């Protein structure tokens, strides 16, 4: 169980300030979260079906080498080109 002192320590580490009137509700909420996480963990530990719910096979595709495009075809609609590259003029 989380205490008020632990909540204040966590708040200091996170550079947060906690109003005294919120301390009780924060402690209660944190303890509820921890109880819920413990319940989920105990259910998951009992049932191994959670480990892999999907039966996957061959999820990786084989990469195939394909030839590159012809540079002249790529550059045929370029407004300006130089040495086989698009030429972009600087604005001054």
The pLDDT tens digits for 22-60 are: 999 999 999 999 999 998 888 766 666 555 556 666 667
Structure tokens at 70: 């012809």
The distance between the two most distant Cα atoms of the chain, rounded to a whole number of Å, is 73
Look up residue 25 and give its two tokens.
């509700």
* pTM of structure: 0.47
**Residue of 21 and 53 predicted with greater confidence:** 21
**Per-residue pLDDT, 80:** 87
**Residue in this structure with the two tokens 């590159």, named with its chain if needed:** 68
């Amino acid at each position: 169980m989380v205490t008020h002192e632990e909540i204040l320590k966590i708040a200091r580490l996170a550079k947060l300030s906690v109003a005294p009137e919120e301390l009780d509700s924060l402690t209660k909420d944190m303890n509820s979260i921890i109880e819920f996480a413990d319940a989920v963990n105990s259910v998951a530990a009992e049932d191994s079906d959670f480990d892999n719910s999907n039966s996957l096979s061959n999820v990786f595709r084989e990469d195939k080498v394909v030839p590159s495009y012809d540079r002249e075809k790529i550059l045929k609609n370029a407004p300006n080109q130089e040495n086989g590259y698009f030429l972009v003029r600087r604005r001054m």
